[in-house]
Structure formats: structure tokens, C-alpha cells
Chains A and B, each alone.
Chain A
Amino acid sequence: MKRRELIRGGVLAGAVAALQPGAGMAQNTPQAAGTGQPSELTPAQSGVDAAKDLAAPGWKPRFLDAHQNETLIVLSDLIIPATDTPGAKEALVNRYIDLLLTAETSEVQRRFLNSLGYLDGESMRRFKAAFRYLSRDDQDDLLHGMAYPRNGSKWTGEAEAKPDVGHEHFEALKKSIMTAYYSSQVGVMQELGWDGAFTHGIFQGCEHPGGDHK
């Protein structure tokens, strides 16, 4: 390559890069002090702690509408209820899912709303009311039918022939809710019991020299 080509190419490519999608994201990244350049650190690498963001007073959903948000709160707390540890509602599972969906592709957004909508559709069909207004028993009745894969007759091959749409929507919603709960501070510390320490000694491995690993 010739030096002149490089200079020309470099200048042009710089201009092109500024027009590409993603270049605009640089506006949101912190500037390194005094350099005028983006810091090139992730927020985590810069030490940003976002743990309290979702608990902000006056929080409002940005992607979900009010009804969808309320439905998600009800559903999430049925899937992961408060027991001797807090449930999904207290862990603000709905707020995390709303945040994630705001940043997701329209395809992912559409699929989530489809699943949530399916729940209300089934609820209307069977109980003539949206899911969040049902009695606890009716909510359970509806969810129970979706939570376990339908065991069709092995003789007729029904199970293989028909996709279990209700179960698929349930699993999609459950996955989002579980990810949100078990990645929250409540989920990791109170439910799973992490003590907040990063070292717990050396990995000791198997401690059953006799070969009985019970």
C-alpha cells in the first residue's frame, strides 16, 4: 500500500464510521478526562453501580403499558412468590424486564407481548376477564394448564402432532421472570444465599476418599 492511499483511506473511513449505526452510541459513553476521546471502558469497567437504578422513586414503565406492567407483576409473583424469602414482586422483576425490553429488538419485544397477550386471551376466553383481575384460584387454574407440557395420548400421537402453544408461551414468560429474579440482588443473596464474598477458600473438590460420593 502507498502512504498516500492510506492517508486518503483513513480520512474517508473516519467519515464513514461516523455515519454508521452504533457511532451515535459514543455520545452516551463517558469521556476520558481531558482527552476528548471516549473512555473506551464499559460502565462496569468504569465502576458504575446500577444496582439501585430500578428502585428509583417515581419509576414508570418505558416499554410496557400500565396494564401489561400490572399483569407482569401479578404473573411474576405467582411464578416466584414470597416464601421465607421475597418473591418476584419485591425483587422488582417487572422493572428489570421492562428495562431489558426497551433495549431489545422489535422481534424480541413482539414475542414477549405475544406471550403476555396469550395469557390475557386465554383468561378472557375462559373467565371473561383479564388475567390480573381473576381470583387467585382462577389464576392458578389457568397457569396450571400451561405450566406442564401436555401429555397427549401416546397411542394417537397427539402430543407430537400438536405444538403445545400455551406451554410455549408460559415457558417464555417464566424464563424472563426467572432470569430477572435470580439475577437480582434479592435473588442472588436472599434466595440463593450468596454471602457477598468473592473468595471462599481453595476449591477442595471431592472429600470422599472411600469412593462413596453420597
Chain B
Amino acid sequence: MSVNYQGQDVLQQTYDAVVVGSGATGGWAAKQLAEAGLKVALLEAGRAVSPNEFTEHMPAYKLKYRDQSPEIVRTRPIQKQCYACMEYNYEWFVNDLENPYSTPPDKPFTWQRLRVLGGRSLVWGRQSYRMSDNDFKAASRDGYGDDWPVSYAELAPYYDIVEKYVGITGAAEGNEMLPDGQFLPPMKMSCGEIVLRDRVKAKFGHTVTIGRAAVLTQVHNGRAACHYCGPCERGCITFSYFSSPFTTVKDALKSGNCTLITNAVVSHVDMDDGTNKARGVTYIDRLTRQVREVRGKTVILCAQALESTRILLNSSTREYPNGLANSSGALGRYLMDHVVGGGASGHLPDLKTLPNANEPQRPNGIYIPRFRNTPSSNKSKFLRGYGYQGGAGAEFNFSAEGYGASLKKGVKEGVYRISLGAFGESLARWDNYCEIDRDLKDAWGIPALRISMTHGDNEAALMEDAGASAAEMLDAAGAKDIRVQTRVEMPGMAIHEVGTVRMGNDPKKSVLDAFNQTHDVKNVFVMDGASFVSSGCQNPTLTMMAVTVRACERLIERFRKSEI
């Protein structure tokens, strides 16, 4: 689709900025730049999205297979590994047959993607946590890896901007590992969560807090408060959780300065011969397969860490034979994704609350910030640490024993479940990387990625410790039948992939400067999670958005000074 922009052909003009990707970061880039008066082209590989296709209020019995469809896996064998890819909404996720990638046989990696306006912001888990200097400056503190070229003090004002706009529910805790932010009123905890919170504090001194989530608990910026229906990943008719199409992208379009081009599958950045400057990007129309070019004074990649990397790798020139802006050789390297798989679950027999089908569904859980290798704790055998997400509540007991009338009764008597699952830091390693697979192309003829990543010994040690610690905490809360998990899930399972176009002060060791501009090509930027230097253990989207806003502010300043 080529939207007519003030009567002109959208491809006949030169934009101030061509933004690739309309998800959490691309939406912010488009909003910030367009509202500052820059002319922006926002490119999205998928189609537009409408609230008419939301299905959060449709009971499963109205679906042909009641959300157990055996058919999804035929077109989405990889996407189906994500809980959020379901019979309700699978068309939002990419068709794996059209969007292949490869891995070495012994290094499986699962890559969850959406190509539709808003991308993964439509289905994300919404958990929103700040990182601290324990993360940004971790290398200086424990000697592993590299510091970010950005400090918490430098990023904090941008966290503020993002949180005030997005609306983050949460409770301030004054925790040294998890800076507080601009919170809307916190959601409530269940009885089981309060028992856990109090006993974990008393016995271990650790903080258990209510999840910090991009879900509104009061009217905010023209959007209504959450009505607690539950399945956010199917859409929200009141727009109470943050997704870019109905917030940042909407604002960008409202400014009159942003042209949205959907179905634009970007293949590469185009360089102007002899100037070392980009002149725009080439895309393939997803539906007609026509090849088109959009021209811009700057190119801003927000396509998702691996996709932005793929675009740069596919943009090789004579000057940059190994990928655009890759004089360092670091492009595609240091792929990270939080390690998951460690934790524990059980039930709390002392709590007699019965399950109730007519209860408000809280789209949020509890959170335990990292307590290993903190400034105030002893050093562990492993580096860094992990945080837990979890929850407790009465559920119908579909594992009830036997059969007959007693089975029906057993289901309704329910069980009070409690669980904690860890997200651990994924260390930045040179040998976790992606490259172009010369033998594999997507349905539009664009060379596909080969992704090579494993979690290492440190990640395994984190999950081992996370399982044991979770079991201790549940035991302290009075849980029975505690089941401990210490496995390491395949990389990609956290859907927190970051790091393949890292920032740094040294152009020999990094691709981007501290403001997301490539060291090599001064008008090419990568403003998504690819810029991360280390992963922390906090869910990354909030930090990604803060980084984008900070980078955009610098870019706007440079446009004002006519430096671009």
C-alpha cells in the first residue's frame, strides 16, 4: 500500500527519516520525529491492523477447534511455540514457510515474529522494568564483557518520558537492582502472593512486588483503564495495554508529518555512491512483489534486533563487504536472549479460596527482582543473576483424580497454585551470532538469516540456582508438592532477543555510538533492541523504548542545527 501523502506519490519525495518497523521502538521513533516536524516515512512489512479483529471477548467454544487447533502448526510450526500464537490470532504471526531461517543442527533457536502494524507490541507480555547501573556498568563491576556507553542517570529521563506516556502500573520498592519509575496505581496481590511476599521477606530478605506492566489502572492519555478480561494478546477494545498502532503510530500520523507504508518488506539500505551516506531503503511490496525505493536523509532501523541486523547484512557494498556499517566485524555478534526454564511450582493447601469463573482476570503477576551478585549480597559462583515472574491463585483442578460425579466435584473444588519462573541474564558472547544463509531466501527473495546461539555454563548455573531458590521460597510460603525446574530452554524462548548491533564508544569493537548512530555511516541508525550491550535480566521493551526516545532527541537536535 502506498498512502498518498498530501496528493504526492509517497515514493517521489525525500523524507527526513525513513523508519523501518512499526513496533514498540519504530512507533516511538515515528512519533518523536514527526511531532518535532520532521517528514517521516514509516515502513511496516505487514498489513494495517483494526480493532475489528480483536478477539479478547470471544469464548473459546465459538472457535472451530476451541483454541486447540491442530492446523496452525502447518504454517506456523515455530510461531506455535509461543503461548500467544493461538487459534484466535495466529494470522498476526508470520507464516514460517514464507519466513524461513536456519540454525546449525545442534543449536536450535526459536524466533517469534509478527508482521502486522505494531508488530509484537500487539501480543507482548507487557512487563516493564527499568535496568540500573548494576546492568549498564556491570562489566566495570565484575569484569565480564563491556559497559554500555550510557549510564542510568543519562537514560532515566527517557524512562520517565516513556512511562508517563505508556502508563505503567506498579509499586515503588526502593530496590537497588530495580529502579522505581513513574507508576500508575499498582494492581492487587492475591492471598497466596501476600503470604509469599511476607515469608520471603522475613526469611530471605528478598523483595516480592506486584508486576510492573504496561496496562492502565486508571484513565490515562485518553485511554480507558483495564477491565480485567484477561487475554491481552488477542487485542484490547479499550486500548488499555500499550500497543503501538493505537498510541505512538496514531500520534505520528496525527501530526501530519508521517506517511505510513504498509506491506513494505525492506530488503536493504541503499547507499549513495561515493558519499558514504545512505539515500534510503529498498522494499518489496508484500502483495504485488514490486520492488520500490524510499528515499530519506536518514535511515532508522527498528525492525526487531535480528531483522535490523539482517537488513544491514544484506546491504553490503564494496566499502562494507561484510555488511553495512560493519567495519568492526561486530555486526550480528553478541546475540542475547534471556535464559528461561528455571523455577518451581506447587500448591498452597492452607488457602481455601474456591476457583470462580466470574472473577476479574488480572493481566499481570508478581515479580522478584534480582538478588544474586548485588552490591549488598555475597558473590555467587556464577556471574550476574535472574529475576522471577510468578503468581498464585485458585484454579479449577483439571488434574482431579478418577472419573464420574466425583471428578466433576474435584474440578470445582480447585487447587490453589503458586509458581515462580526465572528470567536470567544472557551473557554477551562473540560466538552467539547471526549471519546470512547464502542458500536460503524468504518468499520475497530476500536472503534469510542463519542463527547460531547456545546458552552457556553461566546460564545453566543461573537456572540451577533459580530452581533451588524458587523451591526454598515456595516452601517458606507453605507450598506442598513443590516441583523444581532447572532446565535451560532453547534460546529464543524468552522472546527477548537483543544485542546484535551493539553500542559502544570504540568503533573497532561496536557498531553504534551512544546515540544509536552507526560509527561508519553517519545517517544510518539502529534504534531497537539490537543496540543492547548486555541483557540484564529485566524484560527489555521498556529500556528499548527509552533508548529510542533518547536517540531521537539527539537526532532532532542535529536536524535543528542543520548537521544532517
- A residues with a Cβ closer than 8 A to B are 1, 3, 5-14, 16-17, 20-23, 25, 37, 40-46, 48-51, 53, 78-81, 83, 85, 96, 99-100, 103-105, 108, 143, 147-148, 174, 178-179, 182-185, 188, 191-195, 197-206, 208, 211, 213-214
Which residues in B have their C-beta under 8 angstroms from that of A42?
55, 87-91
Measured CA separation A12–B443 after assembly (Å): 9
* A11 in complex: contacting residue of B228, B282, B289, B407, CB < 8 Å: B289
Closest-by-CB residue of B relative to A49 is: B62
Measured CA separation A12–B441 after assembly (Å): 10
* B61 in complex: contacting residue of A1, A25, A100, A185, CB < 8 Å: A185
Fill in one digit per residue for B361-387: 1 if any A CB lies within 8 Å of its CB, else 0. 110000000000000000000000000
Which residues in B have their C-beta under 8 angstroms from that of A13?
441-445
A96 contacts B66, CB within 8 Å? yes
Closest-by-CB residue of B relative to A146 is: B403
Which residues in B have their C-beta under 8 angstroms from that of A193?
356-358
Fill in one digit per residue for B255-280: 1 if any A CB lies within 8 Å of its CB, else 0. 00000000000011000000000000
Cβ of B161 < 8 Å from any Cβ of A? no
* B359 in complex: contacting residue of A25, A53, A183, A200, CB < 8 Å: A200
Which residues in A have their C-beta under 8 angstroms from that of B58?
44
B228 contacts A9, CB within 8 Å? no
A198 contacts B57, CB within 8 Å? yes
Which residues in B have their C-beta under 8 angstroms from that of A147?
401-403
* B198 in complex: contacting residue of A78, A194, A211, CB < 8 Å: A211
Instruction: Give the segment of B7-15, B183-191, B424-432, B543-551 that binds chain A.
Output: B183-191
Measured CA separation A78–B404 after assembly (Å): 6
Most buried by B among A6, A11, A25, A41: A6
B447 contacts A100, CB within 8 Å? no
* Given known A-B contacts A193-B357, A203-B360, A9 and B71 have beta carbons under 8 A apart: no
* A45 in complex: contacting residue of B89, B187, B188, B361, CB < 8 Å: B89
Which residues in B have their C-beta under 8 angstroms from that of A78?
403-404
Which residues in B have their C-beta under 8 angstroms from that of A183?
60-61, 66-68
Measured CA separation A211–B90 after assembly (Å): 43
B91 contacts A104, CB within 8 Å? no
Most buried by A among B90, B289, B404, B447: B404
Closest-by-CB residue of B relative to A75 is: B403
A199 contacts B227, CB within 8 Å? yes
B59 contacts A185, CB within 8 Å? yes
Q: A42-B88, A182-B396 are in contact. List 8 more A-B contacts (CB 8 A).
A: A6-B284, A25-B74, A37-B287, A96-B66, A192-B396, A202-B228, A203-B359, A214-B352
Interface members, chain B 156-205 (any A CB < 8 Å): 187-195, 198
Closest-by-CB residue of B relative to A205 is: B188
Closest 6 CB pairs of A and B: A9-B445, A205-B188, A45-B53, A194-B357, A213-B191, A203-B362
A3 contacts B68, CB within 8 Å? no
Measured CA separation A46–B444 after assembly (Å): 27
Measured CA separation A68–B250 after assembly (Å): 55
Fill in one digit per residue for B324-354: 1 if any A CB lies within 8 Å of its CB, else 0. 0000000000000000000000000011110
Most buried by B among A10, A179, A183: A10
Measured CA separation A203–B401 after assembly (Å): 30
Closest-by-CB residue of A relative to B238 is: A199
B404 contacts A213, CB within 8 Å? no
Measured CA separation A13–B352 after assembly (Å): 59
Interface members, chain B 243-257 (any A CB < 8 Å): none
* Given known A-B contacts A100-B65, A199-B360, A202-B228, A213 and B268 have beta carbons under 8 A apart: no
* Given known A-B contacts A12-B445, A14-B289, A178-B398, A51 and B61 have beta carbons under 8 A apart: yes
Which residues in B have their C-beta under 8 angstroms from that of A21?
74, 97
Which residues in A have their C-beta under 8 angstroms from that of B87?
42, 44
10 A-B residue pairs with Cβ-Cβ distance under 8 Å, sorted by A, are A3-B282, A6-B267, A7-B445, A8-B445, A80-B407, A81-B404, A85-B408, A148-B401, A188-B357, A195-B357
* A79 in complex: contacting residue of B229, B352, B362, B403, CB < 8 Å: B403
* A182 in complex: contacting residue of B91, B95, B362, B411, CB < 8 Å: B411
A1 contacts B447, CB within 8 Å? yes
Cβ of B47 < 8 Å from any Cβ of A? yes
A104 contacts B74, CB within 8 Å? no
Closest-by-CB residue of B relative to A204 is: B188
Closest-by-CB residue of B relative to A85 is: B408
Measured CA separation A85–B445 after assembly (Å): 57
Taking the closest CB of chain A, its distance from the CB of B324, in whole angstroms, is 11
Taking the closest CB of chain B, its distance from the CB of A91, in whole angstroms, is 10
Which residues in B have their C-beta under 8 angstroms from that of A203?
187-188, 228, 359-362
Cβ of B153 < 8 Å from any Cβ of A? no
Closest-by-CB residue of A relative to B403 is: A79
Which residues in A have their C-beta under 8 angstroms from that of B62?
44, 48-51
Cβ of B70 < 8 Å from any Cβ of A? yes
Closest-by-CB residue of B relative to A103 is: B70
* Given known A-B contacts A51-B61, A213-B194, A10 and B403 have beta carbons under 8 A apart: no
Closest-by-CB residue of B relative to A179 is: B68
Closest-by-CB residue of A relative to B359 is: A200
Measured CA separation A45–B190 after assembly (Å): 33
Which residues in A have their C-beta under 8 angstroms from that of B187?
203, 205
Which residues in B have their C-beta under 8 angstroms from that of A214?
350-352
Fill in one digit per residue for B36-77: 1 if any A CB lies within 8 Å of its CB, else 0. 000000000001000001111111111111111111001100
Taking the closest CB of chain B, its distance from the CB of A45, in whole angstroms, is 4
Closest-by-CB residue of B relative to A201 is: B360
Which residues in A have their C-beta under 8 angstroms from that of B69?
103
Cβ of B509 < 8 Å from any Cβ of A? no
* A200 in complex: contacting residue of B98, B351, B360, CB < 8 Å: B360
Measured CA separation A66–B54 after assembly (Å): 39
Cβ of B82 < 8 Å from any Cβ of A? no
Measured CA separation A43–B444 after assembly (Å): 26
* Given known A-B contacts A44-B87, A45-B55, A143-B403, A200 and B287 have beta carbons under 8 A apart: no
Which residues in A have their C-beta under 8 angstroms from that of B358?
193-195, 197, 200
* B441 in complex: contacting residue of A9, A20, A185, CB < 8 Å: A9
Closest-by-CB residue of B relative to A101 is: B70
Taking the closest CB of chain A, its distance from the CB of B274, in whole angstroms, is 18
Cβ of B412 < 8 Å from any Cβ of A? yes
* A213 in complex: contacting residue of B67, B229, B351, CB < 8 Å: B351
Cβ of B482 < 8 Å from any Cβ of A? no
Taking the closest CB of chain B, its distance from the CB of A89, in whole angstroms, is 14
* B71 in complex: contacting residue of A44, A46, A103, A188, CB < 8 Å: A103
Cβ of B291 < 8 Å from any Cβ of A? yes
Taking the closest CB of chain A, its distance from the CB of B115, in whole angstroms, is 10
